[in-house]
Structure 1
Amino acid sequence: MGSVKKYFKKQFRRNMFGLKYKSNSDFYLSCFQSSTSALPLLIVRLLLFLTCLGIFISSLTITTMYFSNAGLWFLYMTSWGVMLITITSGFGFVVSATIYLKGDPDDSSGLPWYIKVYWALYTLTIPIAFFITVFYWAFLSSANEEFAVDSVLDIFIHAINSVIMFLLLITARQPTNLLHFYISILFAIVYVIFTVIYYSVDGRDPFGNPYIYPVLDWNNAGTSMITVVFAAILIIVFHFLTAMMTVARDAFSRWWTRNDDNFQLA
């Protein structure tokens, strides 16, 4: 219990709101490697980025062909999520590639801007990816509206998206601060504001309905607000679970490297 109390006491300090951290290396080394080379995680992140890029291009292309209007792709939070996983995995690759080519900058100068951007994106995208997966399969997949324009694509943008972000998490070493939950909440607020604006200008979904999602129909503002509050709580829960998975990852990596001296990524 002492270690749990110590963890939460540390997490709820005021300085944990920001993007300050003591070590650059935790953002380009894997928790499972004993070397100091940026190459192993560079390769992993390149593969994840290329996968995300493929999903992004496929999703945009197939949806545009189905609806004959590329603009409709940008209506859905799922599409925003696809963009997020692509940008986040891309920034992860940029961080690893920059360190591999130029070397690690001095820790005394604080985190470089590109590491801060990656950390913020990482903190945002993983809980949002989990949220999109759970919310879609629990509340939208059985709705009357046909959200899935292609069954295979449906799996990639509503399930594989979370798998990729989980892989990004378990191969990393950087922390997940509990107080960073506000980053995901701000993103959700931006999307809600977008749906309100879209509704106010008489925007329609691809099927002519006056909403983007049936559970977020601003003709029924009360029900929509309940959905928003529920979604916000769910996002915070997924952020907390992400933090707990980070703790478990770090504990497992310490056990693994201590009990298997021969295991190395490089």
Structure 2
Amino acid sequence: MATLQTNPSAYFFIYLTDWTVLILTIYLVVAFINLVLDRKHGMNYNRTDRGDIQIALRFRHKLQWLLLNVYMNVSILVTVIYWSFLRASIPILLDLTLHAFPCLLGLIDVIITPIPVRLQHAVYPLGYGVVYLIFTLIYWAAGGTDPNGNTGIYPGLLDWEDPGTTCITIACSMGAVLISQVILWGMFKIKMVIIRRCSSTSNDEVGLDGENTQGDSGEPERGTFYENVAFNGGDDMNMQSLSSKEQCK
């Protein structure tokens, strides 16, 4: 039998909550770096064969997009499961910081940032979940326990000593991630519709910072990733003007 330890910090990396808070921290650091670098150096653009102008995403932009897709879905899952089944007696501020604020930040990000939400990107939080499940299986097989000596990291939900219940939890969690992705995608779509309808005809070609998005050469001015994607719809990163009749209908 594994030796019972009384130091909860020794078990930090066994919990999905702590994994997700770590992902959130990395995301915020990457987002801040991108904001600073894009504001200083601007974005790069490529012209497609059809003449459209697309944002040339750098690796750091793609990393930010990936991290956002992972944490905003999993944080919703963590919040729902924790407050429904796992609520513990810990200080309320710590409780909210770990099990409510990450979810709230994810929803705020979808509302105020223009990074697109795509249905197919549900594969990223699902893949993240598979990695965590593999870890829990290895941890259980190695004789690992929770701070109370239980074989399950989440007793009654995720315990490989009870594979039936664990499989049900896994199936429900995957279904919940798919549902949350649909909800987040719907929120993004509604936001973009509001942005388009609130954009007056006279400002069709004016960027979010009040400057024209196209220079004398027809190329867009170099703004930040956020400004350019938001103003131009965000769905496919195309830098097409919102003044086209098809987009304004």
Query: Could you tell me the TM-score, scaled by structure 1's length?
Result: 0.67
Name the CA distance, whole Å, in 1 between partners of 2:9 and 2:107.
Answer: 29
Amino acid at match of 2:143: D
Listed one character per residue, the Cα deviations across residues 178-205 of structure 1 (whole Å, up to 9, x for unaligned) are 1111111000001111111111011010
Q: Structure 1 residue aligned with 2:7, among 57, 60, 68?
A: 68
Q: Structure 1 residue aligned with 2:121, among 177, 180, 185?
A: 180
Per the TM alignment, residue 99 of structure 1 is displaced from its structure 2 partner at its CA by 0.5
1:196 aligns with 2:137: yes
Listed one character per residue, the Cα deviations across residues 103-149 of structure 1 (whole Å, up to 9, x for unaligned) are 212345831111111111111111111111111112222xxxx4x53
Aligned to 1:117: 63
Matches of residues 124-203 of structure 1 in structure 2 within 5 Å?
A: 124-141=70-87, 146=88, 148-203=89-144
SS of residue matched to 1:218: coil
Aligned to 2:27: 88
Amino acid at match of 1:159: A
Amino acid at match of 2:160: W
Distance change >3 Å, CA 75–CA 172, structure 1 → 2: same
State how many pairs are aligned: 194
Moved over 6 A (4+): none
Amino acid at match of 2:33: V
Name the CA distance, whole Å, in 2 between partners of 1:235 and 1:210.
Answer: 26
Matches of residues 29-68 of structure 1 in structure 2 within 5 Å?
A: 67-68=6-7
Aligned to 1:209: 150
Kept after mapping to 2: 8 A contact 1:85/1:165: no
Name the CA distance, whole Å, in 2 between partners of 1:249 and 1:86.
Answer: 25
Q: Which deviates the most, 162-171 or 107-116?
A: 107-116
Tell me which of the two structures has the higher relative contact order, counting C-alpha pairs closer than 8 angstroms and 6 or more residues apart. 1
Per the TM alignment, residue 171 of structure 1 is displaced from its structure 2 partner at its CA by 1.3
Q: What is the root-mean-square deviation in Å for CA atoms of aligned residues?
A: 2.3
Amino acid at match of 2:36: A
Same amino acid, percent of matched pairs: 26
SS of residue matched to 1:198: helix
Q: Structure 2 residue aligned with 1:246, among 159, 173, 188?
A: 188
Gaps of 5+ in 2: 48-54, 211-249
Name the CA distance, whole Å, in 1 between partners of 2:209 and 2:7.
Answer: 46
Per the TM alignment, residue 253 of structure 1 is displaced from its structure 2 partner at its CA by 2.1
Aligned to 2:234: none
Aligned to 1:236: 178
Structure with greater Cα Rg: 2
Gaps of 5+ in 1: 1-65
Kept after mapping to 2: 8 A contact 1:218/1:224: yes
Amino acid at match of 1:115: H
Name the CA distance, whole Å, in 2 between partners of 1:235 and 1:161.
Answer: 15
Between structures 1 and 2, the one with greater helix share:
1
